[in-house]
Structure 1
Amino acid sequence: MKSITSLLRAEEEEEQQDPFLDESNCYCPLSPLQRLYGFGGCLVAAFLCMLLSLVAFARPVKFAIIFSFGNLLAIGSTAFVIGLARQVRMMFDPVRIYATSIYIGSVVLALVCALCFHNKILTILAIIIEICALIWYSLSYIPFARRMVSQLIVSCGDTEI
């Protein structure tokens, strides 16, 4: 009888120590299920914004605003799961600091080019940089993914016969 109760206590302690859906990760008192719903809702809204931005592709100002908002929703959706403070800490880890900085800079640049300069070419260029930075940032969460992609790009660019 003692072994079963001690096993149940050990499982409860492990669940309480699980940082993935820990209640202390968020300043709002959401249950783990509510956090997953928030994550899913934010992610669906992000994809809808990105799809809607394709409709507005002929107008770079609207495209940049909707597309950048969709990207920010996608990045922010993980804050529901792991918490905002942890998300910010992870974004500014030494491994991701450059990708995060370039991504945030390109989002700002795309919005400035679209809203202030009304320059279509610069806006499209900033959106391309934003997409590349988002991909590079996302690859930083997969072990060895950036190294493999770097080696693939180098091997594709190698023209030695």
Structure 2
Amino acid sequence: MDKLRKALSGRDNSEEQEEERGNIITQVIDSNSLSWSTRVKGFAICFILGFLFSLLGSALFFLPKGTVLFAIFYTLGNVMALSSTCFLMGPVNQCKKMFAKTRIIATIIMFVALIMTLIAAFVVHKKGLALLMVLIQFLAMTWYSLSYIPYARDAAKKCFASCVDV
């Protein structure tokens, strides 16, 4: 079909070669991009798996020596939920937005807390420290997520301030 289109268009070979070279980046992006429905399905699957892993990790915490399993599954759940947005906006764009000026502190705290949760469970074997790191993970992930909603951080600050000022 392409040969028929080229023959009917009347263009010579040199014009086609220059056009192909100029559009190689566009062709690579087009051939590797996912359709919108595939992106939404990938997002939903990763997000649901992340939620289920976090829930499973929370349930495993109460087993004897469940701290390690808790840390693994809860952290894996958060990573899955965070990476689910890569399906919607692409991994490069996701990384750019994660390290934007408004989110960089929350992103760094979140990654440090993810790593420290695993260290607390595997190396130190302290349930209290693992719980503290999970709490920091949760707060950093919440603060990071609120940055995507206009004025949500301001509303959260005012809500927290009104709860503290009793």
1:73 pairs, out of 55, 67, 80, with 80
Is 1:86 matched up with 2:90? no
Aligned to 1:45: 49
What residue identity is the alignment partner of 1:68? T
- Deviation sequence 1:101-124 (CA, Å, 0-9, x none): 111110011011111111111101
Aligned to 1:32: 36
What residue identity is the alignment partner of 1:82? M
Instruction: Specify the structure having the higher radius of gyration (Cα).
Output: 2
What residue identity is the alignment partner of 1:31? S
TM superposition score normalised by structure 1: 0.79
Tell me the C-alpha RMSD between the 2 structures: 1.9
Which stretch of the first structure deviates more once superposed, 145-154 or 81-90? 145-154
What residue identity is the alignment partner of 1:49? F
2:128 pairs, out of 121, 125, 141, with 121
Contact 1:25 1:85 in 2 (8 A): no
Given the superposition, is the C-alpha separation of residues 155 and 86 from structure 1 closer, same or farther in structure 2, using an over 3 Å criterion? same
What residue identity is the alignment partner of 1:33? S
Structure 1, unmatched stretches of 5+, are 1-22
**More RCO (CA 8 Å, sep 6+):** 1
TM superposition score normalised by structure 2: 0.77
What residue identity is the alignment partner of 1:36? V
Is 1:153 matched up with 2:157? no
Given the superposition, is the C-alpha separation of residues 121 and 85 from structure 1 closer, same or farther in structure 2, using an over 3 Å criterion? same
Rounded Cα–Cα distance in structure 1 between residues aligned with 2:119 and 2:162: 36
Structure 2, unmatched stretches of 5+, are 1-26
* Identical residues among aligned pairs (%): 37
1:140 pairs, out of 143, 147, 155, with 147
